[in-house]
């Protein structure tokens, strides 16, 4: 089950389409969807979580708390729509494209993909692109 929660004025355009897309990406990787909660918020909200739980005094676009058990994925994914908008400008992509990339990024972490090394970042980006391609077709 996927739940979308809002701590800001932002609202997803099509929750059902987004849910179906996430489910498809999860199944393609050989995992089963458990419970994922998305919490859309602003920079201040996510900054407080970053400081309190991760001891990082920085802004970020996403923080995910992973509750995955084996192949049953689940967790809480906090997304700052402020950061997503800034990143979209910086990377010269649409807000929607950057938002979807961040949405699937958190799920890919639950499936074991990392992004610390350059090699890991490239593999993560490849998987993000594969999932984005599914959404746009």
- The binding site for Zn(2+) consists of 105, 109, 115
What is the total residue count of the chain? 137
Distance (Å, rounded) from C-alpha 76 to C-alpha 79? 10
Note whether 75 and 66 are within 8 A (CB): yes
Distance (Å, rounded) from C-alpha 73 to C-alpha 71? 6
Note whether 96 and 57 are within 8 A (CB): no
Binding residues: 105, 109, 115
């Amino acid at each position: 089950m996927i739940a979308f929660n809002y701590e800001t004025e932002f609202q997803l355009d099509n929750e059902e389409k987004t849910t179906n897309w996430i489910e498809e990406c999860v199944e393609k990787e050989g995992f089963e969807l458990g419970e994922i909660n998305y919490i859309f918020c602003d920079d201040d909200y996510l900054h407080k979580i970053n400081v309190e739980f991760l001891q990082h005094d920085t802004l970020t676009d996403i923080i995910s708390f992973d509750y995955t058990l084996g192949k049953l994925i689940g967790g809480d994914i906090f997304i700052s729509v402020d950061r997503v908008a800034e990143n979209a400008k910086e990377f010269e992509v649409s807000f929607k494209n950057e938002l979807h990339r961040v949405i699937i990024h958190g799920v890919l972490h639950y499936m074991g993909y990392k992004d610390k090394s350059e090699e890991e970042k490239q593999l993560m980006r490849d998987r993000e692109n594969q999932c984005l391609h599914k959404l746009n077709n």
